[in-house]
Amino acid sequence: MTFFTSINNFYMAKARVLAKSVKHNMPDAPFILILSDKIPDGFILENEPFDEVITIEELGIPGENLNMWIYMHSVVELCTAVKGQALCNLLERYEKVVYLDPDIVVYKNLRVIDELLEKYDIIFTPHQTVPEENDMDIINNEICSLKHGTYNFGFFAVKANNNGKFYAKWYRDRLVKYCKDDKVNGLFTDQKWGDIAPALFENLLIWKDPGANVSTWNLSHRNITKENNKYYVNGKPLLFYHFSGFDSGDQLIMLNLYSKGNPILYELRNLYIKDLDINGQNRIENGSCFYDLYSDGTTIKFEERNLLRNRLDVQNYFSKTNPYDKDGNSYYSWFQNEIKINNTIFQTKEEIFNELNKIYNSRFWKLTKPLRVILKILKNIKECFKKYF
């Protein structure tokens, strides 16, 4: 089996922790890093736990203007959108490919996945595998899955046969065009596409092992224990734990809610924090993603990115340009002019309303009221004549 993850430089420490946990349990398994960023200063592959680094420019994303495609994605969307193309590429080189999110830690040899891929072509893990029993858990977990996707795409495994490659191409094509955090319109990056995949593709396993993809969203029905320095979930070995929401603080909030005071869960979290520090988390926290900045180093605003993504006419007009450049006939310059024009229009409307208010409150307007009433009566008489004669 070959493993891969997808990151920008913000997640480098997490990717190192993940890769080392894979190598510790499966020393011979190749681990490939997909990087949607520039190679950081001082990065030497021989000193890293990765066997290979593939940058976004090397993936071969379909389309004529890669810079525009990148620009139209937020940082999180971008690291997700490349997963499909990476999967397609790796399935041309390896027989079995496993994706793991960078905020996952592997605790045991995953030969079980290798064995499952002998029988199945595609493997997903659901967020929940047991029905919830009270309103709080239904809202926090089941309704959350309805919003974000039934299956957690922090993990998937695919075999390089015709069916597996057929799925990978479909997954790639959907992400190239529709990898958006747009829950109002039914999209949450790649996960909502997973909801319909079991209906579209044969030989897809929905894997419900309690030790696989353990996270706060399924702790309500998974009991973590420790024996002889090994971790277990509902009596089965802990395979891999997903520290989703770690940076935002959501992981700790939900852990406090669902840990039931279990010290082992906090032990796992504290060990994870220690490993992150060892692998350089503190050195990269204040960095910037290359693709989140214009060519002069200023940060791209959500409004600038979002307008280009939602306006096909603007995309077509700037199709031969690099939206990251700010000089000359650039998208950035056009956007700034549009803002100025819109602000001018808004100000003009305000001025018009102010002038109208002055007129309505003037002595002249009050003196002419009888005349306006007469004119209105005459207009109504005229309309009646048109209607009946």
Long-range contacts of 45-48, Cβ-Cβ distance < 8 Å, separation of 24 or more: 48/16, 48/19
Judge whether 101 and 244 are in contact, CB under 8 Å.
yes
Bridge partners (DSSP) of residue 213 are none
pLDDT at 354 over 70: no
What is the rounded CA–CA span in Å between residue 280 and residue 16?
Answer: 9
DSSP secondary structure string, 135-170? Answer: HHHIIIIIIHHHHH-SB-TTEEEEESSHHHHHHHHH
d(CA 137, CA 143): 9
Closest CA to 257 of 365, 140, 102: 140
- pLDDT of 328 > 80? The answer is no
pLDDT of 355 above 70: no
Q: pLDDT tier at 288 (50, 70, 90 boundaries)?
A: confident
pLDDT at residue 346 in the model: 47
pLDDT over 90 percentage in the chain = 68
What helix, strand, coil percent values describe the chain, rounded to 5? 55, 15, 30
Taking only the tens place, the pLDDT of each residue in 218-244 is 999 999 999 999 999 999 999 999 999
Distance from the first to the final alpha carbon of the chain: 89
φ, ψ (nearest 5 deg) of residue 242: -110, 110
pLDDT, tens only, 90-142: 999 999 999 999 999 999 999 999 999 999 999 999 999 999 999 998 999 88
Dump pLDDT digits (tens) for 244-280. Answer: 999 888 999 999 999 999 999 999 999 999 999 999 8
What are the sequence ranges of the domains in the chain?
2-284, 300-388
Whether the pLDDT of residue 345 is over 60: the answer is no
Please state the CATH superfamily assignment of the domain spanning residues 2-284 in this structure.
Spore Coat Polysaccharide Biosynthesis Protein SpsA; Chain A (3.90.550.10)
Q: Which one is predicted more confidently, 369 or 268?
A: 268
Q: Where are the alpha helices (DSSP H) in 179-262?
A: 191-200, 250-258
Buried b / exposed e along 170-181 (16+ C-beta atoms within 10 A): ebbebbbebbbe
Question: Is residue 117 a contact partner of residue 98, using CB atoms and an 8 Å limit?
Answer: no
Question: Mean pLDDT over all residues of the chain?
Answer: 89
3-class SS at 118?
A: helix
Residue 372's pLDDT band, with cuts at 50, 70 and 90, is low
Instruction: Write out the H or E segment, with its range, that includes residue 294.
Output: none
d(CA 267, CA 105): 13
If pLDDT is split at 50, 70 and 90, which confidence band does 349 have?
low
Would residue 366 be called left, alpha or beta, if left means φ above 0 and alpha means ψ between -120 and 50 degrees? alpha
Phi, psi at 231, each rounded to 5°: -100, 145
The two beta strands, 122-124 and 204-206, are parallel
Three-state DSSP class for residue 260: coil
pLDDT of 365 reads 60
**282 or 71, greater pLDDT:** 71
Range with the poorest average pLDDT among 162-166, 259-263, 276-280, 377-381: 377-381
Average pLDDT for residues 149-156, to the nearest whole number?
Answer: 95
State the pTM of this model.
Answer: 0.84
Residue 293 vs residues 86, 107, 287: alpha-carbon distances, Å: 24, 37, 11
- Asked if residue 376 has pLDDT above 80, the reply is no
What pLDDT score does 322 carry? Answer: 93
Please report how many Cα atoms fall inside a 13 Å half-sphere around the Cα of residue 69, on the Cβ side: 19
3-state secondary structure of 233: strand
Half-sphere exposure of 136 (CA within 13 A, CB side): 4
For residue 359, the model assigns a pLDDT of 63
Closest CA to 111 of 229, 29, 18: 29
Lowest mean pLDDT among 15-19, 43-47, 180-184, 216-220: 180-184
pLDDT of residue 182: 80
pLDDT of residue 240: 98
pLDDT score at 164: 98
d(C-alpha 263, C-alpha 23), whole Å? 27
The pair of three-digit structure tokens given for residue 305, joined into one six-digit string: 């990115």
